Amino acid sequence: MTDPYDCCVYLLGGPQPVVIDCGAGASFDQLVANIREVGFDPEKVAAVIVTHAHLDHIGSLYQFRSKLGARIVAHERDAAAIELGKGVGADLYGMDYRPCPVDIKLKGGEEDFAWSGGHFKIVHIPGHTPGSVAAYVDLGKRVLFGQDIHGPYYTRWGADPKQAVASLQRLVELRADILCEGHFGIYQPASQVEAYIKGFLNGLRRGDMDEDFQGVY
């Protein structure tokens, strides 16, 4: 377990593991211990993939980069927030955020990313933030790291519900067998993944998931 403010942090294992998101910042030491506990060397972490620039997902980036040498990977449309610390929501958590350079700035709608276990795809899914991304990998089953599918989609926080509709539809079309969501854990089989995503997609289409939706930032 880590700090209650943390998002779900996922690890793609191998000789050079990849971490997906890194919590709000208070749990770095525990995350390192967790990586060791599951049999991997934290000092060999190759990269941290940032799904979007909110504090609960980026708070430990500076430590992963400065202490472990991990490269930071994020979409260019969220990179300025990560590097400058503006608009990351730190004030909402009453926490400090240490800005961190982004080493690899993604630009396309879908890009390949090589890791020691093979490769996976990173997909631009704007809506929750301008530079939100998801990642998926085919390991016999398709595993989707879908970030904050649940939103919220507050326009005052930079969200765009209309873009989110297209992005969630794109995630449905990936037909993932397993979904690793940003805060609410893991969903399977494929029927449950589809139902979960479509539940929020339909809410967006009805217009009941923006300013009045009570969700996790």
| 16-47 residue pLDDT tens | 999 999 999 999 999 999 999 999 999 999 99
Q: Are 53 and 129 in contact (CB under 8 A)?
A: yes
**Residue 209 has what pLDDT?**
65
Say which residue the tokens 């085919």 belong to.
138
Please, what's the b/e burial string for 10-45 (b: 16 or more CB within 10 A of its CB; e: otherwise)?
A: bbbeeebbbbbbbbbbbbbebbbebbeeeebebeeb
Residues in the chain predicted with pLDDT less than 70, given as ranges, are 209-217
**Residue 139 has what pLDDT?**
94
Would strands 18-20 and 118-124 be described as parallel, antiparallel, or unpaired?
unpaired
Any idea which fold 10-206 has? Metallo-beta-lactamase; Chain A (3.60.15)
Global model pTM greater than 0.85: yes
**Residue 214 has what pLDDT?**
41
**Residue 117 has what pLDDT?**
85
Side-chain half-sphere exposure of 192, counting CA atoms within 13 A? 10
**Residue 211 has what pLDDT?**
54
Give the pair of three-digit tokens for residue 173: 């079309």
**Residue 172 has what pLDDT?**
98
